[in-house]
A and B are shown apart, each in its own frame.
Chain A
Amino acid sequence: ILNVEQSPQSLHVQEGDSTNFTCSFPSSNFYALHWYRWETAKSPEALFVMTLNGDEKKKGRISATLNTKEGYSYLYIKGSQPEDSATYLCAFSGSARQLTFGSGTQLTVLP
C-alpha cells in the first residue's frame, strides 16, 4: 500500500490570509500528482494534474508546485476567501496508473 500523506489535517484561517499545505508521496515509479477540491456535501472536483518535476500550476488564487525527486507537492491559496473552505485532497498516480489518495487537508476560512 502506497503512503500518501497530507499536512496539516485541518486549518482555520482568516479571510484574506494566504495559506499552504503539503502532500508527500513516494518518489519512485511516479506518473502524476493530482489535487482535488472537495466541498461539503459535494463530490471531489479535479483542480490540477502535474506530471513533471518542477511543474507549477495556477488557477486564480490557487497554485501548486511539484517536486518528484523528494516526493512532495505544495498547494498555495493567496488571499483566502470563505468560498475556498473545502477539503483539499492530493492523489498519487504511479506506474499502475491508479490513484492513491491522501486523507486531505480541511480548510476553513473565517469571514
Chain B
Amino acid sequence: NAGVTQTPKFQVLKTGQSMTLQCAQDMNHNSMYWYRQDPGMGLRLIYYSASEGTTDKGEVPNGYNVSRLNKREFSLRLESAAPSQTSVYFCASRDIRGTDTQYFGPGTRLTVL
C-alpha cells in the first residue's frame, strides 16, 4: 500500500516550457487535490476533483490545468511555465468517511528559470 505517489520529485523548467505532474493513490479515495506550498503562505489549493470525471478550481488555478484520468490518477499540467510557478506541489487524496482527513504525497519541487 503506497498511499499517494507523485512524480517527478524534482524538476527544473525554462520559462514557457510545459510539463505534467503525475499523482496516483491506491486508497480508493474519491476526492483528490493539488496544492502549492510557498514560504510563509501554507498550502494553497490549485484544483480538486471530488470524484472521477469532475474537477473544480481552488484558490489559485490560473496557469494550471488538471485531468482526473480515473479514480486513482489526478494530473496537473503547466502549459507555459512562469517563474511565479516555482513552488513545491503536493497532491492529496481524501477519506470522506468520518472527518475528511487528507493524505499527502511526497511533493514535487519545481523551479522555473
Contact = CB atoms under 8 A, between A and B. Distances in A.
Interface string B11-45: 00000000000000000000000010000111111
A24 to B, nearest CB: 14
Interface residues of A, number: 23
Given A43-B90, A44-B104, A49 B99 contact: yes
Interface in A33-83: 34, 42-46, 49, 51
Contact of B99 (A32, A42, A44): A32
Contacts of B43: 44, 89, 101
A99 B106 contact: no
Interface residues of B, number: 22
Interface in B62-101: 90, 96, 98-101
Contact of B100 (A42, A43, A45, A99): A99
Nearest to A104: B42
A75 to B, nearest CB: 15
B105 A103 contact: no
A42 B101 contact: no
A57 to B, nearest CB: 11
B17 to A, nearest CB: 25
- When A and B form their complex, which 3 residue pairs have the shortest distance between CB atoms, in order from nearest? A43-B104, A103-B42, A49-B99
Interface of A: 1, 9, 31-32, 34, 42-46, 49, 51, 89, 91, 93, 97-104
12 contacts: A1-B59, A34-B99, A34-B101, A43-B90, A43-B106, A44-B43, A49-B98, A49-B99, A49-B100, A99-B102, A103-B40, A103-B42
